[in-house]
Amino acid sequence: MAPAIETAALTRRFGDFTAVRDVALRVEPGQFYGFLGPNGAGKSTTIKMLTGLLAPTSGTIRILGEDLTANSPALKQQIGVVPEGMALFGRLTAREYLRFVGRMYGLDRDTAGQRTEELLDFMSLAGEDRKLVTDFSHGMQKKLALAAAVIHGPRVLFLDEPFEGVDAVAAGTLKAMLQRMTARGVTIFLTSHVLEIVERLCTHIGIIHRGELVAQGSIEELRERAHGGAGELNGLRPLEEIFLEIVGTERDGSEAAHPPEELSWLS
Amino acid sequence: MAELMPPAGVQLAAVAWLRWRIFVNGLRTGKSGNRSAGGIVLAIGLRMLLWPIFAVWILGPVALSGYVGWSAIANDQPMWLLALMTGIGFLWQFIGVSGSNIAAAMPTFDPASLLRFPLPFGRYLLLRLFLGLLTPSTVVGCLALLAAAIGVGVARPALLPFAFAGFGLYALANVFCARMIGIWLDRVLARRRGREIFGGLFAIVVVSFQFVQFGRVRHVHVGHGGHVPGSQQQSWIIATAIRSAHAMHWLPPGFAADSVLHSASVAAVAGNLVLLALWTALFLAGFGVRLHRQFLGEYLSDSLAPAARRSTTARQARVRPLPQQQAMRSRFSLLPALLRKEWLTLRSNSGQLMGLLTPPIFVWIVSRGSFGSHPDYLLSGAVAYAILGPMSAAYNVFGPEGPGVQLYLLAPLRLRDVVLAKNIASVLILAAEAALAWVIAVSASKAAIAPATQAATALWLIFVLLANLTVGTVRSIQAPRKFAAGQSNQMRSAPTGRTSALLAVALVLGSLLLQIPVIRIGRHLHEPWLGVWVFGALALAGAAGYAMLLMNVDAMMLRNRDVLERELCGV
């Protein structure tokens, strides 16, 4: 079976700045893939390219075995996205928005209506009938964006910081839903800065740093790589330590870059 | 894969429904919730007051087009029909490029956001052609062409079908041409350098056009050395247009006019319509080529490189220690810091800076005409014109901040200082514009402007500034609108809401009209200083009103912070 997501030498330049360089991703169907990296590492740029919203400068992208550039509209039917800025239509109600999205993905009127009601209920948004989306809290908007991303039953789901601003109860429900989806064969490609979430949900990890994919594999493989496979306790190390070990030595936040006397006025 | 695509009808109907719901929800509530009764009354009142004036701008060209269409046929003046088509086409495109289309102020959505859905390019092209079509230029252009066709039909009924076919196709060509220009302009304006160059070129074109209109020639040569009778009074641009009319026959206005004028020959009509259709297709292709690049994921905005390069400098600056004394002192020098921030914002917006040059130039041009013979009204008229455009920014002072407004609400500062700094910045700009207009008007006036008139105008200006700052600040707090400067009219939102924009126009023009009875009564009573007393009193009232506003502005902002947050920091 073809990989759900596969890129080769994926590169994106903005002027003379290279945001993503020669990235070679491989995500198998049904994987819950966490895409990690410091701020500005190129995560969102990569997601935009993988979802067809941004053209790569060079390289190829294959989704479900098909070339994204050649089959972009048809492949978009197979994917769901929670983009960085959520891209909601603020002057609709949640019900109107979900129905619109359902219709845009080709659902018939009854199915779109039925799934809308189910998702509103699931996301605890059913009681917000009179409110426009623009008046929703950030967390409510995230839940709505996630509902819109799944209403058509996508085979690949791209989530850019999906839990940001979502309350703990809702986050738990959403995580359970996402895990259920992967169990049914849906591939999920997720970015998050909360490494605990990634560690709990994801089976495979890719780490991007300064536009380059510096590590990729299962969490166990990354643990081995980070510590050269040595040590009995290596298997218990949290993802945060592994992440910092892989990218931290090069980061501006290292001890050498910031001597203790810096910001000494902070009480 | 292709068989998985949703049906075209379903998607197009969904987008039409989306547009309808956005329109309906926009009527039901403002973005910030239910409108107050006072707000609705204000909005309706302003529209009743000012829309008749705007209606004249629409009905005037439409009626004129109908008349010219009729006259061209009835008086056997084919050149008039060609000139009419050229004029309509030129104004259609010019208004679109100049960004005067109020559609940008309508609550709508970015059509590019539809790209995440499984839309084939053809459907996306269709949607982009027709979404946001209801702009003044399209409405006036279509109505003018309809009126011209009816005019032609009234003059000679047999020509009506040809007029409908030719002018209808010409309308489509103009729609596509406007779309093509708009999308290529978006590409140019996406980069700051492009915006600066375009802003400069556009200002030159606008100003040059005024010079052309006023330019006179002594002799106009037609053909081989002939003269047009009475040519001493003819603008050379008209003479040039007449000379170059033959070239126009190969452009869309020529084909549109010729499809009516050559109706005696079916082959000629068909040929003209086919060639016009080819032009229409060319415009559509020009639009489609650029749209396809966007469809494939072209990134329009500025390069990220400067931001990446700046980070090193920012880090170097960060490590400099700030002495404790200096840190404490800075709490008491907020106003200069806030003013500096306003200056930095203005400095980075070169398009806005260049826009400030246009009103004084227009004042200079207009002052040279017959208006310069009315010293009583010239000065105040010139000053009012110069401040009218920049004034609208005072009605949405927090708009350009966007989510940055949260800093003001969070920081331990008096919001009064923030408002004061923004108003000082506005006053400095408006005063500079007014001073330039003043100098130009005084020097261009054909008769000396009396000291009493100048003093009255100065006091009127103070009143107008204070009144507008007071009302503008209230509107800025109660009806803010997120605004990104320096984008083309297809991408940007308007700098203020429509009610605020109308309010600014009404206040400036209303107070200007107040001068007429004051001057007349002053003359009747032989009291030339009456204006000084009247406008002096109004200026004092304006100062009192503004002082009251400043005293209450902290409370007002806190009362409206949910509105500010929702409007400026929301979706």
pLDDT surpassing 60 at residue A51: yes
Report the range out of A156-170, B161-175, B500-514, B546-560 with the highest average pLDDT.
B161-175
> Tens digits of per-residue pLDDT, B275-334?
999 999 999 999 999 999 888 888 766 444 444 444 444 444 444 544 555 544 455 567
What's the length of chain B?
Answer: 571
The arithmetic mean of pLDDT across residues A73-97, rounded, is 88
Count structural domains, chain A: 1
Enumerate the residues of chain B whose CB falls inside 8 A of the CB of residue A136: 571
> Tens digits of per-residue pLDDT, B215-249?
444 444 444 444 444 445 556 666 776 777 778 88
- Cβ neighbours of residue A247 closer than 8 Å, sequence gap 6 or more: A37, A38, A41, A207, A209, A214
Q: Are A83 and B116 within 8 A, CB to CB?
A: yes
Compute the distance between CA of residue A190 and CA of residue B239 in angstroms, rounded to an integer.
67
> Tens digits of per-residue pLDDT, B372-416?
677 777 888 888 888 888 888 888 888 888 888 888 888 777 888
A66 to chain B: nearest residue by CA? B1
Token pair for B210: 């005024």
- Higher-confidence residue: B525 or B493? B525
Query: Is B137 a domain residue?
Result: yes
Enumerate the residues of chain B whose CB falls inside 8 A of the CB of residue A69: 296
B327 to chain A: nearest residue by CA? A265
Q: A263: pLDDT confidence band, cut at 50, 70 and 90? A: confident
Q: What is the pLDDT of residue B278?
A: 96
Q: B501: exposed, middle or buried (C-beta count within 10 Å: 0-12, 13-18, 19+)?
A: buried
Q: Are A15 and B304 within 8 A, CB to CB?
A: yes
The arithmetic mean of pLDDT across residues B63-90, rounded, is 91
Question: Which of B90, B25, B366, B397 minimizes the C-alpha distance to B213?
Answer: B366
B279 and B342 housed in the same domain = no
Query: Is B519 a domain residue?
Result: yes
Q: A8: pLDDT confidence band, cut at 50, 70 and 90? A: very high
Residue in A53, A105, A252 nearest the CB of B118? A105
Segment among A213-227, B303-317, B471-485 with least mean pLDDT: B303-317
Backbone angles phi, psi at A162, to 5 degrees: -70, -20
Q: What is the pLDDT of residue B102?
A: 44
B290 and B340 housed in the same domain = no
- Global confidence as pTM: 0.72
B344 and B471 housed in the same domain = yes
B292 to chain A: nearest residue by CA? A55
Q: What is the pLDDT of residue B251?
A: 92
Alpha helices, DSSP H, located in B392-450: 405-410, 415-444
Q: B257: pLDDT confidence band, cut at 50, 70 and 90? A: very high
What's the length of chain A?
Answer: 267
Compute the distance between CA of residue B367 and CA of residue B357 in angstroms, rounded to an integer.
16
Q: Are A134 and B570 within 8 A, CB to CB?
A: yes
Query: Is A130 a domain residue?
Result: yes
Query: Is B217 a domain residue?
Result: no
Query: Is B322 a domain residue?
Result: no
Compute the distance between CA of residue A38 and CA of residue A43 in angstroms, rounded to an integer.
9
Query: Is B327 a domain residue?
Result: no
Q: Are A103 and B10 within 8 A, CB to CB?
A: yes
Query: Is A62 a domain residue?
Result: no
Compute the distance between CA of residue B435 and CA of residue B465 in angstroms, rounded to an integer.
13
Token pair for A108: 């018939």
Token pair for B19: 């547009």
- Higher-confidence residue: A178 or B40? A178
The arithmetic mean of pLDDT across residues A36-55, rounded, is 90
B406 and B550 housed in the same domain = yes
Q: A63: pLDDT confidence band, cut at 50, 70 and 90? A: very high
Residue in B21, B118, B322 nearest the CB of A77? B118
The end-to-end CA distance of chain A, in Å, is: 58
A133 to chain B: nearest residue by CA? B571
Distance from CA of B21 to the nearest CA of A (A): 7
CA A17 to mean position of chain CA atoms:
23
Position B34, amino acid: N
Distance from CA of A44 to the nearest CA of B (A): 14
Adjacent-strand bridge partners of A191: A35, A160
Distance from CA of B328 to the nearest CA of A (A): 13
Distance from CA of A134 to the nearest CA of B (A): 5
Distance from CA of A235 to the nearest CA of B (A): 37
B395 and B507 housed in the same domain = yes
B395 and B264 housed in the same domain = no
Enumerate the residues of chain B whose CB falls inside 8 A of the CB of residue A96: 21, 25
Q: Mean of the per-residue pLDDT values for chain B?
A: 79
Q: Are B571 and A90 within 8 A, CB to CB?
A: yes
B246 and B368 housed in the same domain = no
Residue in B115, B322, B327 nearest the CB of A53? B115
**Between A and B, how many CB-CB pairs are < 8 A?**
132
- Cβ neighbours of residue A38 closer than 8 Å, sequence gap 6 or more: A209, A247, A251
Enumerate the residues of chain A whose CB falls inside 8 A of the CB of residue B326: none
Query: Is A120 a domain residue?
Result: yes
Q: Are A74 and B25 within 8 A, CB to CB?
A: no
Query: Is B53 a domain residue?
Result: no
- Higher-confidence residue: B352 or A177? A177
> Tens digits of per-residue pLDDT, B32-75?
445 566 666 776 776 666 666 666 777 888 999 999 999 999 99
Query: Is B476 a domain residue?
Result: yes
Complex ipTM value: 0.83
Query: Is A173 a domain residue?
Result: no
Position A166, amino acid: V
Q: Are B21 and A19 within 8 A, CB to CB?
A: no
Segment among B50-54, B213-217, B337-341, B484-488 with least mean pLDDT: B213-217
Compute the distance between CA of residue A32 and CA of residue A189 in angstroms, rounded to an integer.
6
Q: Are A74 and B2 within 8 A, CB to CB?
A: yes
Residue in B25, B109, B303 nearest the CB of A132? B25
- Higher-confidence residue: B150 or B391? B150
DSSP assignments along B60-76, one per residue: HHHHHHHHHHHHHHHTT
The arithmetic mean of pLDDT across residues B135-150, rounded, is 90
Segment among A128-132, A204-208, B38-42, B326-330 with least mean pLDDT: B326-330
Q: Range of A86's domain?
A: 79-153
Query: Is A85 a domain residue?
Result: yes
Residue in B29, B299, B319 nearest the CB of A54? B299
Count structural domains, chain B: 2
| Cβ-contact B388, B508 below 8 angstroms | yes
Q: How big is chain A by its Cα radius of gyration, in Å?
A: 20
Q: Range of B524's domain?
A: 334-569
Residue in B15, B296, B571 nearest the CB of A134? B571
Q: B88: pLDDT confidence band, cut at 50, 70 and 90? A: very high
B433 and B363 housed in the same domain = yes
Q: Angle B498-513/B375-391 helices, nearest 10 degrees?
A: 170
Q: Which of A91, A107, A130, A262 to mutate to test the interface with B (most CBs of B within 10 A)?
A: A91
Q: Are B570 and A51 within 8 A, CB to CB?
A: no
Query: Is B129 a domain residue?
Result: yes
A90 to chain B: nearest residue by CA? B571
Q: Are B117 and A105 within 8 A, CB to CB?
A: yes
Q: What is the pLDDT of residue A255?
A: 55
The arithmetic mean of pLDDT across residues B478-485, rounded, is 78
Enumerate the residues of chain A whose CB falls inside 8 A of the CB of residue B33: 135
Token pair for B135: 């702009």
> Tens digits of per-residue pLDDT, B343-372?
887 777 766 666 777 778 777 777 777 676
Residue in B7, B31, B303 nearest the CB of A17? B303
Percentage above 70 pLDDT, chain B:
76
B419 and B530 housed in the same domain = yes
Segment among B101-105, B113-117, B149-153, B296-300 with least mean pLDDT: B101-105
Q: A266: pLDDT confidence band, cut at 50, 70 and 90? A: confident
Q: What is the pLDDT of residue B505?
A: 81
Residue in A87, A96, A132 nearest the CB of B113? A87
B285 and B409 housed in the same domain = no
Residue in A55, A77, A262 nearest the CB of B297? A55
> Tens digits of per-residue pLDDT, A233-260?
555 677 888 888 887 755 555 555 667 7
Distance from CA of A76 to the nearest CA of B (A): 5
Percentage above 90 pLDDT, chain B:
26
B532 and B447 housed in the same domain = yes
Q: Are A104 and B118 within 8 A, CB to CB?
A: yes
Q: Are A100 and B31 within 8 A, CB to CB?
A: no
Distance from CA of B18 to the nearest CA of A (A): 7
B304 to chain A: nearest residue by CA? A14
Q: Are A73 and B121 within 8 A, CB to CB?
A: yes
| Cβ-contact B299, A57 below 8 angstroms | no
B6 to chain A: nearest residue by CA? A106
- Higher-confidence residue: B108 or A205? A205
B396 and B287 housed in the same domain = no
Segment among B250-264, B284-298, B434-448 with least mean pLDDT: B434-448
pLDDT surpassing 90 at residue A154: yes
Residue in A15, A69, A96 nearest the CB of B303? A15
β-strands A26-27, A5-14 pairing: antiparallel
Percentage above 90 pLDDT, chain A:
49
Q: What is the pLDDT of residue B28?
A: 65
